[in-house]
Amino acid sequence: MKTSRKNFIRTSSLLVAGAMVNTNVLQAAVKKVNQVSGNEFVLPDLEYSYEALEPHIDATTMRIHHTKHHQAYITNLNNAIAKETSLKGKTLEQLITNINSLPETVKSAIRNNGGGHWNHSFFWQIMKPGSKMSKKTETALIQNFGSVDEFKKQFEKAGLTQFGSGWAWLIKQNNKLLVTATPNQDNPLMDIAAVKGTPILGIDVWEHAYYLKYQNKRNDYLQAFWNVVNWEKVDALING
């Protein structure tokens, strides 16, 4: 282990869609997302083993998804930032909430790979084995969707009908909860997102997230996901 290069966490304040996001809560949910070594973003560790989400998400998928796919987004993000000295030292949130203001030379690279880094960092932390939905979260879902089942139905539908690659989200927008989806590695924090808000829960519906175990059965993967949601984190984000 190198001792000469010390990791540290970049801090930032975060403005989204004109409304202040509770930065502390969101950053707690995606802690390590701004972890850097020197000037480069680094792959955050998982807080559980690759086997921990079995049988719902298999260890091989987790290992490849984390060490290959997520790492590739980080490598490509670092390469893009290295080309634009004006972007050095910016937090990931500063980069992805201001896509429209980025230099044209790196705009799509940062949209795709900065989004990929943020989304996967969030995804690992919004999953956990053996977590239970709190009464508070249940109440909030009933208030916003009529029932927990209706929320799940909308979330599954968003994941299932997202054409090609992308993400389905539960977000908080002006104190209301709603379900949305984004293509590719976009997310609701981005200035370019059609529907903006604070991510509360998200699922990766790229084929690489489920194909080894579920093949073309994206719906089976969406159903299985409910067994591995980190409801404590969801609760902290809803009530944050």
Q: Which residues bind Mn ion (CB under 5 A)?
A: 204, 206, 209
Q: How far is the CB of 65 from Mn ion (least distance, A)?
A: 6
Q: Name which of 35 and 61 has its Cβ closer to Mn ion.
A: 61
Biggest distance spanned by C-alpha atoms of the chain: 54
Q: How far is the CB of 119 from Mn ion (least distance, A)?
A: 7
Q: How far is CA 38 from the centre of its chain?
A: 24
Q: Name which of 18 and 164 has its Cβ closer to Mn ion.
A: 164
Q: Name which of 166 and 197 has its Cβ closer to Mn ion.
A: 166
Question: With 0-12 CB in 10 A as exposed, 13-18 as middle and 19+ as buried, what is 171?
Answer: buried
Q: Name which of 209 and 229 has its Cβ closer to Mn ion.
A: 209
Omega before residue 103 within 30° of 0, cis: no
> Per the structure block, which two tokens stand in for 30?
């995606």
Q: How far is the CB of 49 from Mn ion (least distance, A)?
A: 19
Instruction: Please choose, from the candidates 63, 64, 7, the residue with its C-alpha nearest in 3D space to the C-alpha of residue 37.
Output: 7
Instruction: Please choose, from the candidates 186, 136, 184, 178, the residue with its C-alpha nearest in 3D space to the C-alpha of residue 155.
Output: 178
Q: How far is CA 157 from the centre of its chain?
A: 18
Q: How far is the CB of 148 from Mn ion (least distance, A)?
A: 26
Instruction: Please choose, from the candidates 1, 29, 5, 67, the residue with its C-alpha nearest in 3D space to the C-alpha of residue 240.
Output: 29
> Per the structure block, which two tokens stand in for 223?
């159903």
Q: How far is the CB of 210 from Mn ion (least distance, A)?
A: 10
Q: Name which of 193 and 203 has its Cβ closer to Mn ion.
A: 203
